[in-house]
Amino acid sequence: MARKSLVSEKAMDIEKRSMAIIEQEVGKHSYNELEWIIVRRIIHATADFDFAKQNAIIFHKDAIASALNAIANKCAIVGDSDIVLAALNKKSLNDFGLRCVCKISDAMVASEAKQLNKTRAEVAMRKATEINNGIVAIGNAPTALYEIIRMVNEGVVKPALIIGIPVGFVSAVESKEELLNVNVPYITNKGRKGGSTVAASIINALLGIYSARTG
C-alpha cells in the first residue's frame, strides 16, 4: 500500500513538473482560465505546442458550462472509439457516476454498416441512444462527426457537448468546419491534427475542472 502511494506521488510530481514546463514554454496565450486548463491538458497528452496557438482549439461560448452541467447530471460519455474511453480517468468517472458508451465493436453495428454501405462509426452514432444530454467525444472518425451533425440537424438528438476533433487527411478538416455551424456546444480545432488522445484529454480536463469546483 505504501509503495502504491509513493508511485502515485511520483506520478503527480512528474505531472506537476510537466505542467510547469508547458506554462514556461507557452508564456502568454489567448485562452481564458478554464479554456487554458483544457488546452494545457491537450499539450500534456500530446507534447504538441501547436495547440497553444491562438484559436487552435475552438470553444463554443457555452461548451464548458454545458459540459459541467452534464457531468453534474451524471451524463453518458459517448465515444467514437474504445481508445477514447480507455484513456479517461476511471476514478473520476466512478466518483461522478458517469457512464461510458461506445458501440463501434458491436456485432449488430458491423452487420448493419455492411448492409447500408456505411462506416461502423456512422452506424454506431445512430445506435448510441445515450447521446441526448451527454458528451460526445470524436477523436478518430470524421464520418462519426458528420453523422452526429446530421442527427443534431434532424432534431434526433441534442448532446450537451460535442468534442469533434478527429485526426486525419480525409474529411477531418471539413467535418470540423461543419461542426462550427451546429447549434449545440462544441469543442473542436482547426486542421488535420486531433485524435483519440486529444479527445480523452479534453474530457479529463473537464472532469478535473468539475472536481475542483465541487471539492
Convert the pLDDT of each residue in 53-85 to its tens digit: 988 999 999 999 999 999 999 999 999 999 999
**CB neighbours of 114 closer than 8 A, spacing ≥ 6?**
none
Residue 34 within a domain = no
In the set 18, 29, 37, 44, the catalytic residue is 44
Task: Say what the pLDDT of residue 55 is.
Answer: 87
Is residue 121 scored above 80 in pLDDT?
yes
Residue 197 within a domain = yes
Task: Say what the pLDDT of residue 6 is.
Answer: 47
Based on the structure, what is the number of domains in the chain?
1
Mean of per-residue pLDDT scores for the chain: 93
Residue 82 within a domain = yes
29 in active site? no
Residue 11 within a domain = no
- C-alpha pair distances (Å), 211 with each of 24, 68, 148, 166, 205: 25, 10, 28, 27, 10
**Residue for cell digits 484513456?**
87
Residue 156 within a domain = yes
pLDDT band at 4 (very low <50, low <70, confident <90, very high): low
d(CA 211, CA 215): 6
Task: Say what the pLDDT of residue 215 is.
Answer: 74
Residue 102 within a domain = yes
Task: Say what the pLDDT of residue 14 is.
Answer: 85
Can you tell me whether residue 28 is helix, strand or coil?
coil
How many Cα atoms sit within 13 Å of 114 on the Cβ side? 6
Is residue 210 scored above 80 in pLDDT?
yes
Residues 13-24 have a mean pLDDT of 90
Residue 16 within a domain = no
CATH number of the domain within which 129 lies: 3.40.50.10230
Domain extent at residue 203 = 57-214
Residue 23 within a domain = no
